[in-house]
Amino acid sequence: MALRALARVNLAAIERNVSRLRSGLRPPAGLCAVVKADGYGHGAVPAARAALIGGARSLAVATAEEAATLRAGGIEAPVLVMGAVSDEELPVALAARCELVAWSSRFVDRVAALRSSVGAPAPLRVHVKLDTGMGRLGTRSFDEAVQLAGRIDDAAPALELAGAMTHFASADEDPEFTAVQLARFEPFVVALRERWPGVVAHAANSAATLREPDSHLDLVRCGIAVYGCDPLNEDPLLHGLEPALELSSYVAAVKPAAPGDSAGYGRRWVASGETWIATVPVGYGDGIRRALTNDCDVIIGGRRYPLVGTVSMDNITVEVASPDVVRCGDPVTIIGADGSERVTAEELARRIGTINYEILCGVSARVPRVYHRDGVSA
């Protein structure tokens, strides 16, 4: 019997995606695998391990807690916490032996003081973030960024200046602005390298990695592409990427519907003729977005069938040809391939005006993840 809901993650696909991405890098760039948000819904620790097997040089997460999760899972590779870390979270970050990003002198001083008080053997590695146009984290001031680098260096041996970073705002849709950002970043890298030649410069996300070799620098920070999804929300196969996650369920009930019968809350679908409805016991509680109401297909037995009616928390309804073709217990593919049919996270995202990232991160914690390598249990 199929599980109610299951996310099957192919770790071999993650390994191959990383090695494919690496093979397209302009030397000397290496790849940092971004495994924040529980590895974009795939499971941070297994995804991190697979990425490292595929040749990732390091890992990145958004929060100190996520770094701690990797360490608790036995991951020893360098981990960069890219996001803001509050005073309360700093001890967690230090205990997780991660690298941090700074954009204010207050933060540098806090980290230095805490690190000195703990008296750890190795310096804490800090990257300075220049905001070249993302308008989120980082300082917009070149001078302040250079001063911060000096302040980090002054805090040796508690701290060590590790890197110079920036983040692209629209590498997926606006190459000109990406070039502008890169042009703003380069003088900063040059300035830092004059004093600290070993500083690691990094800027590119998945979209820039695929589209802008000039942006590869020393390190690219790839997330979505590692999981085999397309940063441009196109078909991942066009870039040789293999989606690693498949989301499935099964047919729990099949029943006839007569003209005028409806399915789901709000009666948003009403049968216009004699037909059959299969109920699949997954819903928005599992990450099937409610906006997909009356607007996506699932695959059963290698054929697409339309989701009809409102997506509820725990069930969706699907119009099927007949009870002879679709039977109780049949596996249902919600994201993934079956026979020659395929539903991608990109397709679901396009239908509801969002991005594949949100579809993947949306697969909820109540869906068990099962790991395999090309079909062999991992």
> Which residues bind to ligand PLP, rule: CB under 6 A?
34, 82, 167, 205-207, 221-225, 231
Q: Is 129 among the residues known to form the active site?
A: no
| Least gap, CB of 208 to ligand PLP (angstroms) | 8
| Least gap, CB of 145 to ligand PLP (angstroms) | 16
Alpha-carbon span 255 to 327, nearest angstrom: 10
| Least gap, CB of 179 to ligand PLP (angstroms) | 18
Question: Closest residue (Cβ) to ligand PLP?
Answer: 223
- Hey, what amino acid is at 299? I
Catalytic one of 129, 250, 255, 265: 265
CB 44 within 8 A of CB 84: no
SS3 342: strand
CB 310 within 8 A of CB 266: yes
SS3 57: coil
Q: Which is nearer to ligand PLP, 60 or 278 (CB)?
A: 60
| Least gap, CB of 159 to ligand PLP (angstroms) | 20
| Least gap, CB of 203 to ligand PLP (angstroms) | 9
| Least gap, CB of 204 to ligand PLP (angstroms) | 8
Measured in whole angstroms, how far is the alpha carbon of residue 34 from the centre of its chain? 7
Q: Is 36 among the residues known to form the active site?
A: yes
Q: Which is nearer to ligand PLP, 63 or 206 (CB)?
A: 206
Burial of 186 (0-12, 13-18, 19+ CB in 10 A): middle
Buried b (16+ CB within 10 A) or exposed e, 22-43: beebeeebbbbbbbbbbbbbbb
Q: Which is nearer to ligand PLP, 107 or 305 (CB)?
A: 107
Residue count of the chain: 378
Q: Which is nearer to ligand PLP, 151 or 167 (CB)?
A: 167
Residue 120, C-beta contacts closer than 8 angstroms, at least 6 positions apart: 94
Sign of the alpha-carbon dihedral angle for 96, 102, 105, 106? negative
| Least gap, CB of 225 to ligand PLP (angstroms) | 6
Q: Which is nearer to ligand PLP, 33 or 318 (CB)?
A: 33
- Hey, what amino acid is at 365? A
Q: Which is nearer to ligand PLP, 4 or 20 (CB)?
A: 20
Taking CA atoms, 81 is separated from 14, 28, 63, 90, 182, in Å, by 21, 23, 6, 11, 22
Burial of 155 (0-12, 13-18, 19+ CB in 10 A): buried
Residue 48, C-beta contacts closer than 8 angstroms, at least 6 positions apart: 33, 35, 39, 59, 70, 73, 75, 77
SS3 324: coil
| Least gap, CB of 267 to ligand PLP (angstroms) | 39
CB 112 within 8 A of CB 158: yes
| Token pair belonging to 352 | 């509801």
Q: Which is nearer to ligand PLP, 127 or 296 (CB)?
A: 127
State the Rg of the chain over Cα: 24
Q: What is the dihedral of CA 237, 242, 244, 249, to 10 degrees?
A: 50
Q: Which is nearer to ligand PLP, 114 or 180 (CB)?
A: 180
According to DSSP, the residues that pair with 99 across neighbouring strands are 80
Active site residues: 36, 265
